[in-house]
A and B are shown apart, each in its own frame.
Chain A
């Protein structure tokens, strides 16, 4: 396996993550990625596809998604419909088979990167239903008896938000990496990608407020990288200087950092002077 991924200009990966991605490619095992929202789980697959020059197929999993839909969907209702009006040859069942992302990845002539995004959103049994297909990289279309087999095993990246526990049998077959929330050093690099010209003082005080807010206890949704980036954009647009980041009236544009009403109250309290008895 000659392909080696080293991150890309727009995606900064830790050495551990690089090692693990390359090991999962070499071992031909799916890579399960978990982490707080906003730590770049989805972007990782994009970066691997860019870095290795392979097309990216994405399967966005929803609460109603069934494992089979990733392979193919047999549109029985359409066929029934067509048979009623007899304007098509309904005996050719293949025209009613629509391949899902997994089916497309297997059928692709070249090696692709397949992202199964937010696998934990679906039913608890969903990952188990995919075990065989991910192991053997083939499946049979029951309606036609056709075997769909991957000629080039796709690189499979699976992201999870930990909404549901994943089954053990599934976990045994994958490699796992937890993306930690970026520390200040890494965050500095990430922000630099977005705002190369950012004033250092403004950045330093923004970071201080950001991490202080993140540390606040009881937040339902702690601000993540994307919120920080948005917030800095708002600060820049309003022309706020380093001193204005934590002014008398609290944090400007605090709504870009925390979105929930209860969280807002917590953050406002946090920056008020402490009451003494």
Chain B
């Protein structure tokens, strides 16, 4: 094997470091613990000396969600793309083992975890492995190669350093990675009912309430003891989810492309059967004095009544693209519907909702990078806005159930309104 080719030389960091930091830059929080496990796997020979093995086992150690498999494949392709193998793994591993603390962007917790690992021990085992290999001169069935020899002198390895043929149906790991089969599992992609339901399940408020009582063993023992050994059972009420959820969905014209998505979220939420109370309403572009109970029957509830009735700690989730003509948001009688005559502008209604419900979010089906336009910006300054994707929904739920006092309510600037 000759010296590394151009691309490896031009980058100061050798491939393994590039994988680690490539993954972290791509948002996959690989921890030092996992990285050290990978190093151990390499040093102990648990990973065989070919890229297929590294691709599979490396992924199983570093990546803990199929949503990140695609990122792994991309980083893997970026690092090993041309079928280049890291020529001097030894130096890189030693380099990494010697100076792991110089690496940037680790949190205090992660650094603490790193310090607890026995680096010296790992280093020793690694060097032993290296020594053993020098003696045996088989140079082929371990990862570690020494200067001048092929790093992976396995029979049937092509000059690029990848094992071809054999299991896996002839695709090299780089090729498999380049196929990006896991693109569909990505987190930032909008997913199906089940995934949305999983995200929504975290929306809860647990309290002990009435219901089938559970045996309280501690209390039973206590009471029995006090009762001179005569068994006395004690019960306590079970923990139940007390969360109330109010879902309002925009079904206006510009929302049509997202109707399936919104429907998916709606069916996920309504099938969950997990909250104390779940209610849903529809509106057209913006909320005014009335909210539709169904999209077809025209049955309505008064928004003002909702504001009186519903407890303030109800979780309010509004779904909409927040895009409309400015007059629909700001003017009296601004509603696009002929029958909707409200002296109060949409923005004032939205502000009332925001002020009444202490926990509310706005989910926007458009991807974040398309969030622009006047009305969207106004609404975004009023409601915490999240994209309607798995990750966005998770963020939104996290925001909703977050402990501590709710965010202050933004003031409404009356000069914005058009009378």
Contact = CB atoms under 8 A, between A and B. Distances in A.
Contact of B217 (A15, A16, A22, A77): A77
Interface string B244-274: 0000000000000000100010000001000
B351 interface: no
Most buried by B among A27, A77, A84, A162: A27
B44 A173 contact: no
B314 interface: no
Interface in A150-204: 162-166, 168, 171-178, 180
A80 B33 contact: no
A178 B193 contact: no
Contacts of A29: 37
A16 B168 CA distance: 8
Given A23-B46, A177-B60, A80 B220 contact: yes
Contacts of A163: 198, 201
Contacts of A16: 56, 168
B221 A80 contact: yes
A1 to B, nearest CB: 8
B101 interface: no
B231 A81 contact: yes
B57 A20 contact: yes
Interface string A10-23: 00000110011011
Nearest to B217: A76
A20 B60 CA distance: 7
B229 A83 contact: yes
A162 B198 contact: yes
Interface in A17-43: 19-20, 22-24, 26-27, 29, 31-32, 34
B41 interface: yes
A27 B40 contact: yes
B221 A23 contact: no
Nearest to B233: A77
Contact of A19 (B57, B193, B202): B57
B36 to A, nearest CB: 10
A39 B28 CA distance: 26
A218 interface: yes
B33 A173 contact: yes
A151 B344 CA distance: 74
Contacts of B133: none
A27 B52 contact: no
A268 interface: no
A175 B69 contact: no
Nearest to B63: A176
Contact of B231 (A34, A84, A165, A218): A84
Contact of B220 (A15, A77, A84, A174): A77
Contacts of A31: 60
A217 B261 CA distance: 11
Interface residues of A, number: 37
B88 interface: no
A220 interface: yes
Given A32-B64, A34-B66, A80-B231, A23 B57 contact: yes
A84 B229 contact: yes
B60 A15 contact: no
A175 B229 contact: no
Contact of B52 (A15, A34, A178): A15
Contact of B224 (A20, A27, A80): A80
Contacts of B217: 76-77
Nearest to B218: A76
Given A20-B56, A84-B229, A172-B34, A27 B221 contact: no
B230 interface: yes
A19 B59 CA distance: 11
A81 B224 CA distance: 10
Nearest to A18: B167
Given A29-B37, A77-B217, A80-B221, A176 B229 contact: no
B380 to A, nearest CB: 27
B33 A172 contact: yes
Given A22-B46, A84-B231, 17 more contacts: A16-B56, A19-B52, A19-B53, A23-B57, A26-B46, A29-B37, A76-B217, A77-B217, A83-B229, A162-B198, A168-B31, A171-B64, A175-B57, A176-B63, A177-B60, A178-B69, A220-B194
Closest 4 CB pairs of A and B: A178-B66, A171-B64, A26-B46, A16-B56
Interface of B: 29, 31, 33-34, 37, 40-41, 44, 46-48, 52-53, 56-57, 60-61, 63-66, 69, 167-168, 181, 185, 192-194, 198, 201-202, 215, 217, 220-221, 224, 229-231, 260, 264, 271
11 contacts: A20-B57, A77-B215, A77-B217, A80-B229, A80-B231, A163-B201, A168-B29, A172-B31, A172-B64, A178-B69, A218-B260
Interface of A: 15-16, 19-20, 22-24, 26-27, 29, 31-32, 34, 76-77, 80-81, 83-84, 162-166, 168, 171-178, 180, 217-218, 220
